[in-house]
Structure 1
């Protein structure tokens, strides 16, 4: 979900579409946890109809730019090794 907000603030419907395959309940629960953790913020805009956007906070952005980017690079570099190890374990019945 954090990666889906990397491009900027998004409304709930667009956020759900960007993530794909997530139920409304799971999206709601995740948004609540991320809001409570201070990683995202919610902006309500007055108007007709009213709208709500979600965006990364400074902490959320630093998590994306730091550890999550590093983890992504690591996964790209070592993904084949991980798959081979998993296949080898499955073949051995472990």
Structure 2
């Protein structure tokens, strides 16, 4: 695994948003209820923006019918908890989140 710091990953966003805004994104606590076709992509967008404290809530498991529209849904994740499957994918983007 590559050794990337938060600053390395989000340097371009910091240039656009400014350090104060990036620091706010990093420190905010955000919760998403439901990580289906909209929530899963929102979660990815937040992680890619620099949010590190994200709580995701969904009691469902990944189903075959989810593959065409949900971020974490693949043939390998069928039957897994949506939360655990998405968490696994999000940690690949920012391991500190």
TM range (shorter): under 0.3
Q: Return the TM-score normalized by structure 1.
A: 0.27
Q: Give 1 or 2 for the bigger CA radius of gyration.
A: 1
More strand by share: 1
More helix by share: 1
